[in-house]
């Protein structure tokens, strides 16, 4: 990275009106200006002007931010705050100021960068969850293990028995004439922890007459790395995906993780200065055709289910869906289209849950305070299921509910839609069973 | 600032409540006013009125300036720190202490957010009308200190009309209570009105007793579009003349409409020359009758389109968009200098025209919107503070705008306060004895000049007097000596 200068146009756009303060989760934790978007932009400005060196406190502030971008939604002046804080993180990372850089680099470049390694680790975690965990607790070794490690263990949701990319073939054809040709991103977490959501998504796409392409060599989308400032590896992975997905002539690339979808929509921007013209064009094209699954289904006029589901549900807006991609009504429309489902609006539904990539591991205490507020709001809805369309939020809310000792199910809206489709045909035993289980829990 | 002073501040409020890091100082060096900043030496977070009192006493002893601050949304530089100062951070005082449903009052701490107070009292069918543009984050303490206005000012008045009582820490550290729940109360001087709008220079509010009124039974939000500002202005005049007092009567010019549309995507016609946002409230029958009358007046004055908000949600969206108009204007150019020149309302059309003329003359962009019903205009220059030459032009244009407003019997600020931003214009509006009256009050209450000194006016030594500003005056002085 030769030029790490943050464009001053982006910075001066902020007129420090303060409208961003009430929606900022971190400002609302400590009520300190430096922990607000307005304050952070000012600090970035001083760093860019050379009036403030990159201090520990500056670095801490940049990573204290969850990058939820709620401030961007309310900003009347249209400040691109996400871009600013991400640029600042790139600067911190590239210049070697970040003390955790080595650990992060290791996670990003070894774990996420290779699907093989990622899945290996997932398999180990699976083994651990199945047997070693109990053993460790039995011999009480957990008391001497580092606290952070214990938390990672607790925060990690159960690894799926089979990973979705190992079940799903490269090309799937719908039952009848295909209307759309779509690519599908299996993702990292979705693939190993929520592989059933991926399978639900593909089934729903097939039900909606889509021919689904799942490139074998697709990589992690790169969003987690980019958000933490490791732009180099993020770009490498993005490039890989651009090439893989460009092999087919697709109408859309459908993504069911809010964070991944948001980042893939930025691929064009990421490669805007790329010298290789064909790569640049491909990147732009990928950005253009990338759709969140809720957005895509809504746009094509998805098939309305006609089986009735007697459920009370609520919906949590994932930050990267609501604030970054501005998708809020589509998932609600999909949920409300299911007959019998009673939809209760969640108070502060667009308030971050505190997951934010690996924030909940790196900044556990802050993350938990933010989560508590979310869980309190969720419990007030008295819903049976909380729906959300991002694996990070999914895991975080599951953890919060477990901590609160509440037996409420977390689900992707598309999984619920798939249940409704299945009930229509009364086919899939597992899904029908999961619905019945919710009904049984009522008593 | 001396390390010893910092230590003594830490003794008062606790070590972790005194912030001195450069990052914190930078973060409190500004408020919402463009192009103004100053670094404080420390930020102090008091928790009780006694803390505030002790801090002010220490300031008198050690001679440093105390700058009170809520959320920092002010638009006159009122909470921008001066040199040798500390910021007194009041934004954590967020308790609503009492809502008295029988006497219709609310007792609150100064850091309560205006919009939150609205929500709380409305749960009881009560109403706190002042609604400044920044109400989702501005604090009641700041509203009282600046005597903030808002969109509902036309019918319901401004903050001062709702303050019944105050607990104040005086600049010298004494804690006093004035006012109370009595609707009528004439015991002693009317000190409340001296403190309200004193811009943090005469006292720090620690408790505020507010008057509430019953929530209007119903309301309706209307939108009317015009080809020109002139037609919109005429409509405003006609509505007022027909003895209808809408709760809100706002106008936006074309530049503002386009920016607001770009932000809020409400489907406003971006080619309209002007629009009026009107809200009538009260008894349903009255609302019905008044909105019909208003529609007729709009049509008569050439409204190209006329709409009634279909739902409460839609009305809310429209009003929210209007509230964000000033920041939305920042989409055109990075720096928006928002002023609040105000004229008696019959002069609104004339003033609006003049502002446009001045903008054209100086070749700068001035978006215009405002509370047309109460004469409070917000000419907003769209510029870039990095462009020094253009900033100079903006400055000259505003000088002319204020001059013209004063000529029409108006004021240099309708709701933002004088602060640092408009200090130099105050002398244009008031004769010297009036300003000296203000200075005298400040001198008596704050003999060491520690509380937000440097705002509103300069505290010159008493003997200096006003310097001559024209050749005529100089000659007059010269003649005295010969």
pLDDT of the residue at B469: 65
Tens of pLDDT along B397-441? 999 999 999 999 999 999 999 999 999 899 999 999 999 999 999
pLDDT of the residue at A123: 81
Nearest to A31 among B26, B28, B92 (CB): B92
| Whether residue A103 has pLDDT greater than 90 | no
pLDDT of the residue at B33: 93
CA–CA min distance B452, chain A (Å): 20
Cβ-Cβ contacts under 8 Å, B331 against chain A: 77-78
Residues from B in contact with A at Cβ < 8 Å: 19, 21-24, 26-32, 34, 71-73, 91-92, 113, 134, 136-138, 262-263, 324-328, 330-331, 334-336, 384-386
pLDDT of the residue at A104: 79
pLDDT of the residue at A120: 79
**Least confident stretch, A140-149, A153-162, A208-217:** A140-149
pLDDT of the residue at B467: 59
Chain mean pLDDT for chain B: 92
Chain mean pLDDT for chain A: 90
Tens of pLDDT along A77-102? 899 999 999 999 999 988 888 777 77
pLDDT of the residue at A3: 67
**Mean pLDDT on A402-409:** 92
Give the 3-state DSSP-derived string for chain B, with helices as H, strands as E and coil as C. CCHHHHHHHHHHHCHHHEECCHHHHHHCCCCCCCCCCCCCCEEECCCCHHHHHHHHHHHHHHCCEEEEECCCCCCCCCCCCCCCEEEEECCCCCCEEEEECCCCEEEECCCCEHHHHHHHHHCCCEECCCCCCCCCCCEHHHHHHHCCCCCCHHHHCCHHHHEEEEEEECCCCCEEEEECCCCCCCCCCCHHHHHCCCCCCCCEEEEEEEECEECCCEEEEEEEEECCHHHHHHHHHHHHHCCCCCCEEEEEEHHHHHHHHHHHCCCCCCCCCEEEEEEEEECHHHHHHHHHHHHHHHHHCCCCEEEECCCHHHHHHHHHHHHCHHHHHHHCCCEEEECCCECCHHHHHHHHHHHHHHHHHHCCEEEEEEEHHHCEEEEEEEECCCCHHHHHHHHHHHHHHHHHHHHCCCECCCCCCCCCCCHHHHHHHCCHHHHHHHHHHHHHHCCCCCECECECCCCCCCCCCCCCCCHHHHHHHHHHHC
| Whether residue A124 has pLDDT greater than 50 | yes
pLDDT of the residue at A99: 77
pLDDT of the residue at B345: 86
* A77–B327 C-beta distance less than 8 A: yes
Nearest to A12 among B19, B27, B386 (CB): B386
Q: How many CB pairs under 8 A join A and B?
A: 92
Q: What is the pTM of this model?
A: 0.90
**Mean pLDDT on A316-329:** 97
Tens of pLDDT along A207-221? 999 999 999 999 999
Tens of pLDDT along A349-398? 999 999 988 888 889 999 999 999 999 999 999 999 999 999 999 999 99
Mutate to test the interface with B, among A11, A19, A33, A348 (most CBs of B within 10 A): A33
pLDDT of the residue at A1: 46
Regions of chain B where pLDDT drops below 50? 482
Q: How confident is the model at residue A139 (pLDDT cuts 50, 70, 90)?
A: low
Query: Does the CB of A10 have a partner CB in chain B at under 8 Å?
Result: no
What share of chain B has pLDDT > 90, as a percent? 77
pLDDT of the residue at A110: 78
Tens of pLDDT along A1-28? 456 888 888 898 999 999 999 999 999 9
Cβ-Cβ contacts under 8 Å, B73 against chain A: 17-18
């Amino acid at each position: 990275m030769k030029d790490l200068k943050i464009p001053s146009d982006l910075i001066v756009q902020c007129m420090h009106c303060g409208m961003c303060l009430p929606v900022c989760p971190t400002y609302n934790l400590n009520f300190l200006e430096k922990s607000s978007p307005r304050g952070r932009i000012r600090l970035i400005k001083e760093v860019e002007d050379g009036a403030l060196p990159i201090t520990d406190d500056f670095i801490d502030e940049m990573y204290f931010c969850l990058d939820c971008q709620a401030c961007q939604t309310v900003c009347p002046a249209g400040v691109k705050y996400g871009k600013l804080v991400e640029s600042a993180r790139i600067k911190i990372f590239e210049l070697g100021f970040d003390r955790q850089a080595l650990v992060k680099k290791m996670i990003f470049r070894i774990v996420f960068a290779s699907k093989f390694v990622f899945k290996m680790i997932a398999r180990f975690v699976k083994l651990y969850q199945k047997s070693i965990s109990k053993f460790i607790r039995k011999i009480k070794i957990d008391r001497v293990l580092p606290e952070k490690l214990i938390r990672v263990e607790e925060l990690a949701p159960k690894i799926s028995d089979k990973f979705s990319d190992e079940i799903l073939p490269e090309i799937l054809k719908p039952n009848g004439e295909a209307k759309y040709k779509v690519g599908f991103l299996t993702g990292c977490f979705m693939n190993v922890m929520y592989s059933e959501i991926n399978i639900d998504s593909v089934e729903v796409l097939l039900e909606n007459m889509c021919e689904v392409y799942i490139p074998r060599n697709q990589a992690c989308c790169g969003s987690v790395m980019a958000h933490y400032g490791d732009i180099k590896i993020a770009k490498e992975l993005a490039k890989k995906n651009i090439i893989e997905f460009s092999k087919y002539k697709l109408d859309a690339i459908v993504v069911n993780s809010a964070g991944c979808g948001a980042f893939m929509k930025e691929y064009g921007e990421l490669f805007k200065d790329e010298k290789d013209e064909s790569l640049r064009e491909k990147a732009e094209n990928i950005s253009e055709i990338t759709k969140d699954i809720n957005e895509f289904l809504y746009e094509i006029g998805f098939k309305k289910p006609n089986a009735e589901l007697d459920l009370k549900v609520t919906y949590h807006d994932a930050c990267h869906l609501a604030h970054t991609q501005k998708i809020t009504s589509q998932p609600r429309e999909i949920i409300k289209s299911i007959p019998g489902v009673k939809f209760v609006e969640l108070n502060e539904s667009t308030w971050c849950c505190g997951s934010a990539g690996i924030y909940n591991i790196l900044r556990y205490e802050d993350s938990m305070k933010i989560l508590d507020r979310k869980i309190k709001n969720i419990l007030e809805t008295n819903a049976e299921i909380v729906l959300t369309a991002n694996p990070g939020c999914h895991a975080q809310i599951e953890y919060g509910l477990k901590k609160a000792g509440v037996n409420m199910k977390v689900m992707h809206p598309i999984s619920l839609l798939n249940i409704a489709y299945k009930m229509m045909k009364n086919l899939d035993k597992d899904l029908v069973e999961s619905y019945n289980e919710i009904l049984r829990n009522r008593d | 600032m001396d390390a010893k002073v910092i230590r003594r501040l830490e003794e008062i409020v606790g070590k972790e409540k005194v912030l001195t890091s450069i990052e914190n100082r930078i973060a409190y060096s500004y408020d919402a006013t463009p192009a103004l900043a100053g670094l404080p030496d420390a930020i102090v977070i008091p928790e009780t009125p006694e803390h505030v009192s002790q801090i002010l006493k220490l300031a008198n002893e050690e001679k440093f300036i105390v700058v009170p601050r809520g959320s920092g949304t002010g638009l006159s530089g009122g909470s921008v720190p001066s040199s040798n100062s500390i910021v007194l951070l009041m934004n954590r005082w967020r308790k609503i202490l009492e809502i008295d449903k029988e006497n219709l009052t609310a007792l609150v701490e100064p850091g309560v957010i205006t919009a939150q107070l609205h929500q709380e009292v409305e749960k009881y069918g009560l109403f706190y009308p002042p609604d400044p543009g920044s109400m989702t984050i501005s604090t009641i303490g700041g509203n009282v200190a600046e005597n903030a206005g808002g969109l509902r000012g036309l019918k319901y008045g401004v903050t001062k009309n709702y303050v019944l009582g105050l607990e104040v820490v005086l600049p010298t550290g004494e804690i006093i209570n004035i006012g109370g729940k009595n609707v009528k109360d004439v015991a002693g001087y009317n000190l409340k009105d001296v403190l309200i709008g004193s811009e943090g220079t005469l006292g720090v509010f620690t408790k505020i007793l507010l008057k509430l009124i019953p929530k209007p039974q119903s309301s309706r939000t209307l939108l009317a579009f015009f080809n020109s500002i002139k037609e919109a202005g005429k409509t405003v005049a006609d509505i007022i003349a027909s003895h209808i007092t809408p709760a809100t009567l706002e106008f936006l010019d074309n530049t503002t409409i386009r920016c607001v549309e770009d932000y809020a995507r409400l489907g406003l016609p971006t080619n309209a020359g002007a629009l009026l946002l009107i809200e009538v409230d009260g008894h349903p029958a009255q609302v019905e009758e008044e909105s019909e009358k208003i529609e007729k007046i709009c049509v008569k004055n050439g409204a190209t389109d006329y709409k009634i908000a279909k739902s409460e949600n839609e009305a809310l969206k429209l009003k929210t968009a209007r509230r964000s108009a000033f920041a939305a204007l920042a989409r055109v150019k990075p720096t928006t200098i928002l002023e609040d020149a105000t004229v008696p309302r019959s002069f609104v059309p004339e003033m609006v025209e003049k502002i446009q003329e001045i903008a054209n003359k100086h070749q700068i962009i001035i978006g215009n919107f405002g509370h047309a019903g109460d004469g409070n205009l917000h000419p907003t220059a769209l510029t870039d503070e990095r462009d020094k030459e253009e900033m100079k032009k903006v400055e000259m244009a505003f000088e002319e705008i204020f001059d013209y407003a004063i000529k029409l019997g108006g004021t240099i600020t309708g709701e933002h306060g004088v602060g640092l931003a408009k200090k130099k214009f105050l002398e244009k509006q008031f004769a010297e004895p009036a300003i000296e009256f203000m200075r005298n009050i400040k001198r008596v209450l704050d003999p060491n000049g520690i509380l937000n000194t440097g705002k509103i006016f300069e505290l010159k030594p008493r003997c200096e007097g006003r310097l001559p500003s024209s050749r005529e005056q100089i000659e007059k002085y010269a003649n005295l000596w010969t």
